[in-house]
Structure 1
């Protein structure tokens, strides 16, 4: 996440700030400008072209600080949500919903920074993107929530925003890392594989790197949970879940691509490292920039009594996969220019 400053007083801001703690100016995030901008006390902002914007109507529901095109309307990030807990849901479920929306806004910002095209289902019913944010255990919406992606619809279990629940699942599945933002990154990886891995040459290369995606998914799922990862998996995969099926391998690799890109951009924006050259191959970014930075961050986390910030080892085979993902993204954004 880039560093933001208040346009009125120059004070440093955090992405979710709704007001400057130094000068008291009310703030909102402009997706078009990719900046936090000052708004009037009633939530209005006039851009450089004299177009009027308004703070998202969900500001009181989820704490959304983004700008919408119409007064009383929703911002782009909130429009991506198709299903959410109803207003009669328990307070803790509404809090989980707010945390999920916060993670989704972070996701949209980093996808925008990459130059990837995002379309809502309202704008493109066939291939747009939308989110069902559901509460598990029958609390608010459905008795059993399965996190996943299907034809542009991403389902997220709001229980994953609860630290105790998420840590329990992480320990049960023996995972080194599990976060709400990580779920969003992984599932959107499925969406972008669907969108970007098209054409015989790209699909051939994807199969070459990740394996034969025609393997029946249900069979692979059952085998994964009954037998676990194959011997020697650490030489070829970023995680045990990536070993289940080529679709999951792509999504896990995509998520780590976003983990690394966003953390490096944040570090550079806050003066902790130099910006990464645009023409540097991503595998080299990982070995020359990410490896030493993540090692240092792991030590800092240990100094604070926490587990490693990035508890993963990236073997050469995964570097090739990360390069493929980076190339697919670059090729996509080049076509959009």
Structure 2
């Protein structure tokens, strides 16, 4: 993610901020500019943007910003909409009469907006169900009921359901440990489930990509229910690290794709952030990795991304260990996994009209 500054006082601010800590200016996100803007009160619940690219345009706060305090996106003042583009994607919110559910809703919306930012940076259009009833994206944030029935996080034809318990840090860590997962985050869930969504949009029934997909990930026509049962009964193969990004990716080609897609989005997001902060790795020791390339990630080749990614993860893990914390990047990317990530890169590059792409040669 890029860095942002208050347009009134130049204080560095973050994507989630609603007010500048230095000058107290109202802050809000402008999706058209993919930027945080400072605002001045223009009266009648309207706010004038101070962002130089906004030309003094007037905006209003999303209802979930002004009333619910779970959003910070702005809407053009003359728009008939009351919800921003991000909040329009949420079809069902948690029951706010339940303690902690508002906090969980806020955390879910923060993660969702970060995902939408990355997708926009990659040129991937996201339409709501209102804009595209057949293929639009929608989210439901649900909780387990008192009768013992459980909400399963998943994707179904553009509808992504998340169990709000995943927004409880203690619960999520307990599940992560029980499942033997090195990495489990809210943002990771959103990335993974949108992987399923974009498989249906970009790969399924696409003669351009489907043969290459099957060569790399396997035949998605394999029975999903049988694969799921086998995975939870037998587990992943002992040598899964040689070909897969995670144990769960071994379950079915759909899950392998979704896990790889999520990992690619993570790589792009972290590299984008490190570039925006000007992070460079320099060493007098030729044996140590260096990192000096600051090409915007949305314009970088896959090989360039990988050359930047590995040194950064070495440094990240080293810093975490110095802090007495687990590795920030607990993964090892085998050659087949890198090939799968390359395929995701090519699919996204073409879908986002970033550069010409073609399927990898079949053997």
Instruction: Tell me the TM-score range normalised by the shorter chain.
Output: over 0.9
Is 1:167 aligned to 2:208, yes or no? no
Is 1:100 aligned to 2:108, yes or no? yes
Contact 1:241 1:249 in 2 (8 A): yes
Q: Once the 2 structures are TM-superposed, how far is the Cα of residue 303 of structure 1 from its aligned partner?
A: 1.1
1:18 corresponds in structure 2 to: 18
Q: Which moved more, 1:274-283 or 1:248-257?
A: 274-283
In structure 1, the gaps of 5 or more residues are: none
1:300 corresponds in structure 2 to: 319
2:123 corresponds in structure 1 to: 115
Distance 1:104 1:111, change over 3 A: same
Partner secondary structure for residue 19 of structure 2: coil
For 2:226 and 2:340, the matched residues in 1 are separated by 24
Q: Once the 2 structures are TM-superposed, how far is the Cα of residue 283 of structure 1 from its aligned partner?
A: 4.5
Match of 1:177 among 164, 177, 183: 183
Distance 1:279 1:36, change over 3 A: closer
Match of 2:202 among 180, 196, 199: 196
Cα deviation 1:133-183 (Å, max 9, x = unaligned)? 1122549xx941101001000001111111110011001101111001100
Cα deviation 1:30-87 (Å, max 9, x = unaligned)? 0001111122334523574675321111014243110124477111000000011234
Match of 1:79 among 88, 111, 125: 88
Contact 1:283 1:319 in 2 (8 A): no
2:64 corresponds in structure 1 to: 58
TM-score relative to the length of structure 1? 0.93
Contact 2:31 2:73 in 1 (8 A): yes
1:132 corresponds in structure 2 to: 140
Q: Once the 2 structures are TM-superposed, how far is the Cα of residue 280 of structure 1 from its aligned partner?
A: 4.8
Cα deviation 1:178-229 (Å, max 9, x = unaligned)? 0011000000010011111142131111111100101000000000011111
For 1:280 and 1:122, the matched residues in 2 are separated by 34
Distance 1:279 1:193, change over 3 A: same
For 1:48 and 1:276, the matched residues in 2 are separated by 26
Contact 2:248 2:255 in 1 (8 A): yes
Contact 2:3 2:273 in 1 (8 A): yes
Partner secondary structure for residue 100 of structure 2: helix
Distance 1:247 1:72, change over 3 A: closer
Distance 1:138 1:81, change over 3 A: farther
Contact 2:299 2:354 in 1 (8 A): no
Match of 1:228 among 229, 235, 241: 235
Contact 1:57 1:72 in 2 (8 A): no
Partner secondary structure for residue 97 of structure 1: helix
For 2:201 and 2:164, the matched residues in 1 are separated by 26
Is 1:256 aligned to 2:263, yes or no? yes
For 2:151 and 2:321, the matched residues in 1 are separated by 34
For 1:251 and 1:314, the matched residues in 2 are separated by 16
Contact 2:95 2:101 in 1 (8 A): no
2:290 corresponds in structure 1 to: none
Contact 1:213 1:246 in 2 (8 A): yes
For 1:114 and 1:30, the matched residues in 2 are separated by 17
Match of 1:333 among 342, 346, 352: 352
For 1:108 and 1:297, the matched residues in 2 are separated by 25
Higher helix share: 1
1:312 corresponds in structure 2 to: 331
Count residues in correspondence.
333
- Which segments of structure 1 move beyond 6 Å, counting only runs of 4 or more? none
For 2:336 and 2:353, the matched residues in 1 are separated by 26
Contact 1:2 1:265 in 2 (8 A): yes
Q: CA RMSD in A?
A: 2.1
In structure 2, the gaps of 5 or more residues are: 281-292, 357-363
